[in-house]
Amino acid sequence: MSNATREDESYYWSNYDDDESDNIIFDGLHPIRSFMHDKHVLDLGLRLDMYGGDSENYPSSFTINMNGPNGEKVSANLAQSDDSPHNYEGRITAPYIDEGEWRFAQPFAGQQFKSWYDDIESASFSMEHLLPSMLEANLYEGSLDERFIVSAIGILVDQDETISVNSAFDINAQTYDAFGPVSGAQTDVAVVRISPQLADFEQRFEPKGRVVIGVDENDMFTGTYTGSDLNGDVSVEIMPWDRDHPQKAEINQIEAEGANNRWSLNSDVFNGANGIVDIITTGTTNEGLEFSFVQSYPLPGTPKCTSITGYTWNEQDVSFDANLEPFYLEGSDAPNEGLIQQIFVDWGDGNSEYIAIPEEDRGDYTNVNFGHDYSSQSNSDEYPIHIEFQFSDSSLDVSYDLTYKKSTSEEWDDSGFYDEEGDYYTSYISKGGSCYLDEWMETTPNPTIIDSIFTEGPLEVINQEVFTTDAQGQVTQTITPTLPGVYASLVQTKAALPSGKVVTGLGLNLNFATEHTLALSGGLEEVTQFAGLPVYSAEPSPSGLMPITFEAPMLEFSNQEKYQLDYQIIPLDFSVPFPDIDWDEMMSDEEREEPIIFADGDNMRTEEVRLKAPLSLIGVTLTMMDEGSQEDEEADEYEEDYEEESINFPVAVSIGLVLNNPDDLSIEGELGPGSIANIALSDELTASRILAIAAPEQGFDLASIDFSSFTEFGYGEAREEIGWIKDEQRIERICENLDVWQEENWDSNGPDYNIAIDWRVEAGQFAENDMSFFSSNGIQLTDENDQVIDPVIDWNSEEWNPDVLSAKFNLDNTESGDYTIQTTGGVELQLDFTFDPNEYYIEDGYESRCSDETDLSSQDALFSVFNNLASKLSSIAWGQGSSADLELPFLSSPQDDYTVIAIAQVGTGDEAEMVAGLGGKKSVANDGPSELQDLDVEFNPANPKQGDSLLISITDAESDVPVDDLSVLVSRSENILYSFISDENGQAHFIIPNGTFIVRISGGQYHPLEFTFTVEDEIVDIKQGGNLVADIDGDGILNTEEPDADSDNDGVPDELDQCPGYDDSIDLDKDGIIDGCDSFVDSDGDQVRDIDDVCPGFDDTVDTDQDGIPDGCDPSNENDEKSDDADSIAQNTQSLIEENSTVIIAGIGLFIAILLALMFIRRGKGGDGDFIDPYDDMFDDGYANPNPSFNEFNSIPVPDYAQNNQRPPQDIVGQMRDGYEVVEHPSNSGQWWWKDTQTGNWEKWQ
């Protein structure tokens, strides 16, 4: 199972155990298994840590080898960390996905003869999986692909939004399609009550009191249950304390019955014993809850809590702290008897002493320190130490015994205080204590209490019933709420189509059941409803002031009740689509100084509010105050706490929408299923931008909200967060944090400053990131005039925290000002803040972002997201002009009154104003059911092979117009391989996998299409249930009408094509075989395939200096003609070498050191031979070659093609990787390209 989940692995080795081998071997370094259905190749981050010896002798790197299932070897370099010489990190990546095991060599293999090896004392090795496992990938892809919330039929659920407890209300659910009501449909209606005020049902599992233990005036040991919910008598059981402690009472178990809520025992039953006991008090509540309170408690006559702590700081002496303090038990006064007199100590070496405690130190807390020197003892025997707390009453004395063994330098690990539990010696020991006594409770509910969870708890299914819709498509269910709460109606309808297929629809609505009602008036006038919510029109004064009257008739005041009214007017923020408006002023909210109280017969109150926003949400609650609900003001403190924790559900609720002086909307066109109406302001006003939304006036309808578009948008956003490229970005990501706060310098010798800034940068642990930007040159602070402000204490980092640069600034301002911190070179993070010298903090002084996250900090970025979503949604009209088109979903109610609410901007720039709009219209049904239309599908290339990127183009069969927003699923068995939504060009594309798979195209008002692909030996066979009508060569002429179709557009008709799917004119090696069908393309004639060619354009077999690099790509290869004089040159220099051998050897050593340093630096910068992108390993054909010698190419320098940015040839065949066709070009250059299937061009991967 660990192979499928790919859990991270850690291994440890140490030589502390004498039984360990001298070789550094990590036991259990088992292989990791990969599977054919893995979404990603095996990709591991490796970390090696080692300690011991002189770290300056450690190597600069380690090589880790991994052997694949086909015998190939993959190597990775673990480089020494810049932060610590003990840490090495690297990354190893399998070149392909296959079924089999990947085995790892021991990291220290071959290092046994290094000088540092024998000094290593401990080492650890860990492997972290950098890419999701098969289970993880299937989890998010399986749950993400094509999960759209959409109903096949619509259900309008209508019920009153506020109702009264014990008053019946009707739930009317109407089932419909685009052409009218659906009769005879099976409809399941369920009603669920949600009462958060009953969420404290767990308190039914707790008694309403606690047990207080003490000694009464008659010296009786007592326990009293304080709750008023007791049924019957309590009982008690007393037993010895369940702890190993010198003050544990030595008694036999005692059981006794109490009377009512109290038990009492005469102290004589304890036979003069003192100490701590466990007391268990049991009883039953009126509801049948059995409870047991378990409390640890000191018997009468028990002295204070004692403890000792011992230390030994060197080889010869010991020191002790002796403490006395009271025992503590919450809610009870624990007895603390006896006065401490002195402490007696027998040191076990023939010496003893009495330590007197002065009377002034005998208070609640006593601490005594004493010690002893064993240096005069000549041996290292064990010494028994006896410490005794002696009280005025000797029967209360408490003793501690322990053992000390004198230390010697040779036996330091076997000396000190002996710990009996751990069976070892230690320099520190503690005994006694535990002065805070334990208390806990256990309960057992009866069946009635358990049942009440479901009938009187926070969640209850009130009723569930199945109906059949009438001729109007309606069903009705009547419910009478008995408890306050939210009542949610869930409706599911199943209807049979004429074809016999059963379709399902979902609907829901909810309301508040309260004991009373609320009405709003004054400056608010209810003009309509929006999905059942009341819509109010308001006409405030120019400053926004207006009165609101809250009326709550029929309130109860018979028991001096008081009610608190709370209201909230929430302005809706539309600053993203309307950036010209000052929304900060509109969103301001005036706080009320005192709550609104209804008392002494009040049923109406009027408040003055300020309303500036065009559209606001208003919520009002009326709640009974706690003072009126408490029945017993003299209740036990515990019961008061119990009642304070309960939740008061409102006795009345009102929720609605408020439009500020709304304009009458102009609605041109029909509102109905799939219809389009144009929305504009009245003739007196002209909008520059307008946003409108429509919903049925009565009832709530999921279909009219267009959930499918919401989930489609969410799917598109989430789909971009998964896959190979996104996973790689997470591995390589850089995260930046900016933190600014006010801080003053209290050091008079230092510079004055008042602002501190931290800049934190964290990079992927196993990525080769360029961090050169992380310096004082990569960040600056500017004021509102774009003037750069220099720090008074420059950017610097602490040695223990190298990821943070800090600086101090002195903003010499007497008034507040705006400032900006900007970083460059990394994430490009920006933080805007305001500095006010009269404040003590910076509001919003923190900002963070990672390189793989979308920057939504700018207004343009937010607007782009909004514009993308708003343009897709039905039921919403959005336009940057005087009007906008509103299209209802194809599945929306065909026979209801619709309410349209709009907000619009009139004017632009500083002259812009916001206007609210309101309108309504009767829905118009479609004339009759429409027939599903046909689709045409085109595949390009027409004759694809395995690994090709297949472009699918979908058009309407009749109009030949591209069809977007269709679902394209590519699946094998039950597994979804790819899932797409056709774009605005009606297109989708994917890489053709091996085996048999199905492509299904569906959605909209079209017949679904399904194609079966069978891929064997690179030959693709496509079958469909009928004839496929398509224009596969894209020339505008259907295949059936074109005898000379040219599917691959190479100028050669299909019937004459030598290499279908490829350009017949491309034959780079001039062997008469078209390259697209040539298994051995050798353009430079060196008998090495281009795909394997080490030195393209040159003969790979010519290597004069035998350094493994073909001469054509060997910059170090000198003119071979000079080799003829090699012998004479050698003779002339022989004597020179002999005379200067020492200098030459030193020079060679220096040259090698410089070469190694250059290689290491170039590796860090992503030079050739090493990879900036760790996935380069993955695609390198060398790893998959079964020839072992071929796999050693990593150790050979290769030519530097990194500067060659020429695109790969169009005919080059890449490799499939997570839905992308990728290729490294030029070969071994470290530069990767991916093919854009819509343009056919190779694009640089970066």
Lowest-confidence pick of 182-191, 283-292, 640-649: 640-649
pLDDT value at residue 682: 92
Is position 368 within any domain?
A: yes
CA nearest 228: which of 635, 633, 532, 566?
635
pLDDT value at residue 605: 92
Phi, psi of 204 (to 5 degrees): -70, -15
pLDDT value at residue 758: 95
Q: Would you call 1011 helix, strand, or coil by DSSP?
A: strand
Is position 726 within any domain?
A: no
Q: Is the Cβ–Cβ distance between 752 and 812 less than 8 Å?
A: no
pLDDT value at residue 239: 92
CATH of the domain at 336: 2.60.40
Lowest-confidence pick of 672-681, 945-954, 1126-1135: 1126-1135
- Look at phi and psi of residue 645 and say left if phi exceeds 0, alpha if psi is from -120 to 50, else beta: alpha
Is pLDDT at 789 greater than 90 in this prediction?
A: yes
- Regarding whether 360 and 386 lie in a shared domain, the answer is yes
Is pLDDT at 918 greater than 90 in this prediction?
A: yes
- Regarding whether 134 and 8 lie in a shared domain, the answer is yes
Q: Would you call 787 helix, strand, or coil by DSSP?
A: coil
Is pLDDT at 947 greater than 80 in this prediction?
A: no
Between 1040 and 867, name the one with better pLDDT. 867
Give the position of tokens 């207006």: 546
CATH of the domain at 184: 2.60.40.730
Is pLDDT at 1246 greater than 90 in this prediction?
A: no
Between 704 and 1006, name the one with better pLDDT. 1006
CA nearest 73: which of 1108, 1170, 1182?
1182
pLDDT value at residue 874: 77
Write down the H helix ranges in 662-743. Answer: 707-719, 724-732
Is position 666 within any domain?
A: no
Residues with Cβ < 8 Å from 568, sequence gap 6 or more? 618, 619, 620
CA distance 1179 to 1222: 9
CA distances from 776 to 822, 1109, 1120 (A): 12, 43, 51
- Regarding whether 604 and 522 lie in a shared domain, the answer is yes
From 851, 871, 895, the end of a domain falls on 851
CA distances from 1238 to 701, 940, 1205 (A): 39, 10, 21
Q: Is the Cβ–Cβ distance between 733 and 852 less than 8 Å?
A: yes
Is pLDDT at 738 greater than 70 in this prediction?
A: yes
Is pLDDT at 717 greater than 80 in this prediction?
A: no
- Regarding whether 18 and 44 lie in a shared domain, the answer is yes
pLDDT confidence band for 988 (50 / 70 / 90): confident
- Regarding whether 311 and 250 lie in a shared domain, the answer is no
pLDDT value at residue 809: 94
Is position 923 within any domain?
A: no
Q: Would you call 945 helix, strand, or coil by DSSP?
A: coil
Between 1107 and 263, name the one with better pLDDT. 263
For range 39-57, the mean pLDDT: 88
pLDDT confidence band for 894 (50 / 70 / 90): confident
- Regarding whether 31 and 135 lie in a shared domain, the answer is yes
CA distance 598 to 621: 12
- Regarding whether 621 and 524 lie in a shared domain, the answer is yes
From 144, 162, 184, the end of a domain falls on 144
Q: Which helix (H) or strand (E) holds 171?
A: strand 169-177
CA nearest 937: which of 997, 1017, 1025, 1019?
1025
- Regarding whether 400 and 252 lie in a shared domain, the answer is no
Structural domain of residue 521, as residue ranges? 516-637+650-661
Is pLDDT at 508 greater than 80 in this prediction?
A: yes
pLDDT in tens, 199-253: 556 667 789 899 998 888 777 889 999 998 999 999 999 999 888 888 898 899 9
Is position 615 within any domain?
A: yes
Residues with Cβ < 8 Å from 920, sequence gap 6 or more? 528, 697, 897, 898, 899, 900
Q: Which helix (H) or strand (E) holds 1164?
A: helix 1141-1164
Is pLDDT at 1167 greater than 50 in this prediction?
A: no
Is pLDDT at 337 greater than 80 in this prediction?
A: no
User: What tokens were used for 790?
Assistant: 């220099």
pLDDT value at residue 433: 85
For range 23-33, the mean pLDDT: 87
Between 145 and 1046, name the one with better pLDDT. 1046
Give the position of tokens 């790919």: 6
pLDDT value at residue 1196: 26
For range 14-33, the mean pLDDT: 76
Is position 111 within any domain?
A: yes
pLDDT value at residue 399: 94
Q: Which helix (H) or strand (E) holds 1181?
A: helix 1181-1184
Give the position of tokens 């009187």: 456
Is pLDDT at 950 greater than 60 in this prediction?
A: yes
For range 1151-1157, the mean pLDDT: 38
pLDDT value at residue 724: 56
CA nearest 430: which of 286, 601, 260, 306?
306
pLDDT in tens, 281-330: 999 999 889 999 999 998 888 888 999 999 987 667 899 999 998 888 77
Domain count, the chain: 8
pLDDT confidence band for 634 (50 / 70 / 90): very low
Please calculate the CA angle 678-680-686 and round it to the nearest 5 degrees. 145
CB half-sphere exposure, 1054, CA atoms < 13 A: 14
Is position 907 within any domain?
A: no
Is pLDDT at 1182 greater than 80 in this prediction?
A: no
- Regarding whether 322 and 427 lie in a shared domain, the answer is yes
Most confident residue range from 453-467, 708-722, 1214-1228 = 453-467
Give the position of tokens 């009870």: 332
pLDDT confidence band for 539 (50 / 70 / 90): very high
pLDDT value at residue 170: 93
pLDDT confidence band for 1197 (50 / 70 / 90): very low
Is position 1114 within any domain?
A: no
From 851, 885, 908, the end of a domain falls on 851
Radius of gyration over alpha carbons of the chain, in Å? Answer: 42
Is pLDDT at 1127 greater than 60 in this prediction?
A: no
Q: Is the Cβ–Cβ distance between 276 and 241 less than 8 Å?
A: yes
- Regarding whether 592 and 533 lie in a shared domain, the answer is yes
pLDDT value at residue 1185: 31
- Regarding whether 525 and 497 lie in a shared domain, the answer is no
For range 249-278, the mean pLDDT: 90
The dihedral of CA 132, 135, 136, 141: what is its sign? positive
- Regarding whether 545 and 495 lie in a shared domain, the answer is no
pLDDT confidence band for 6 (50 / 70 / 90): low
pLDDT value at residue 1205: 46
pLDDT confidence band for 780 (50 / 70 / 90): very high
CATH of the domain at 993: 2.60.40.10
pLDDT value at residue 203: 67
For range 487-500, the mean pLDDT: 84
For range 1041-1060, the mean pLDDT: 64
For range 957-963, the mean pLDDT: 90
For range 593-618, the mean pLDDT: 89
Lowest-confidence pick of 96-100, 545-549, 906-910, 1014-1018: 1014-1018
Between 181 and 457, name the one with better pLDDT. 181
Please calculate the CA angle 984-988-994 and round it to the nearest 5 degrees. 180
